[in-house]
Amino acid sequence: MAKLLRIVIILFLLTHYIQGQNVPENVAAEQQFPNEAISIEQRISFYPNPVDEFLHINLGELDLKNVEFELYNIIGSDMPVDIEKLNRAEFRVNMKEYRSGYYLIVIKDEVKRFNKAYKFQKK
């Protein structure tokens, strides 16, 4: 990522140098690539936690195109996951057959390049 950013900045500087334009000194990488992850995290909700039978996931207004879920136990073993889609933004995970403990659920969307893990507890 750092190499890509350097290449973009070098190409930007070369383009302006070749065109004979002055390059603004206050151009910052943060202005070109805003970090939106903080606002995305705030829109996803899980309940109840700890969960007994079903974990409800609400994506809120998050616009994911091809949502996938992965479930891991606390030591990182991949677990089979049974997801029921209730509507566009709400999902229900069947946790009835799982033992008590901590689990990680990963929400992924390759189209939107979204990949985030969340920890929850099973009673």
Q: In sequence order, what are the residues at sequence separation of 6 or more whose Cβ sits closer than 8 angstroms to the Cβ of residue 54? A: 92, 93, 94, 95, 96
Over 80: is that where the pLDDT of 119 sits? yes
The CA distance from 58 to 95, in Å, is 16
The CATH homologous superfamily for domain 36-122 is Immunoglobulins (2.60.40.10)
The CA distance from 46 to 121, in Å, is 11
Q: 122 with 100: CB under 8 angstroms?
A: yes
Place of tokens 């151009």: 27
Give the per-residue pLDDT at 73. 95
Give the per-residue pLDDT at 42. 55
Nearest to 53 by CA among 94, 87, 84: 94
Q: 59 with 44: CB under 8 angstroms?
A: yes
DSSP 37-85: HHHHHTT-EEESSSBSSEEEEE-TT---SS-EEEEEETT--EE---EEE
Structure pTM? 0.64
Most confidently modeled range among 14-18, 35-39, 97-101: 97-101
Task: Please report, for the chain, the start and end positions of each structural domain, with discontinuous segments joined by +.
Answer: 1-34, 36-122
- Digit-coded pLDDT (tens) for 42-67: 588 999 999 999 999 999 888 888 99
Average pLDDT, the chain: 81
Give the per-residue pLDDT at 34. 52
Over 60: is that where the pLDDT of 22 sits? no
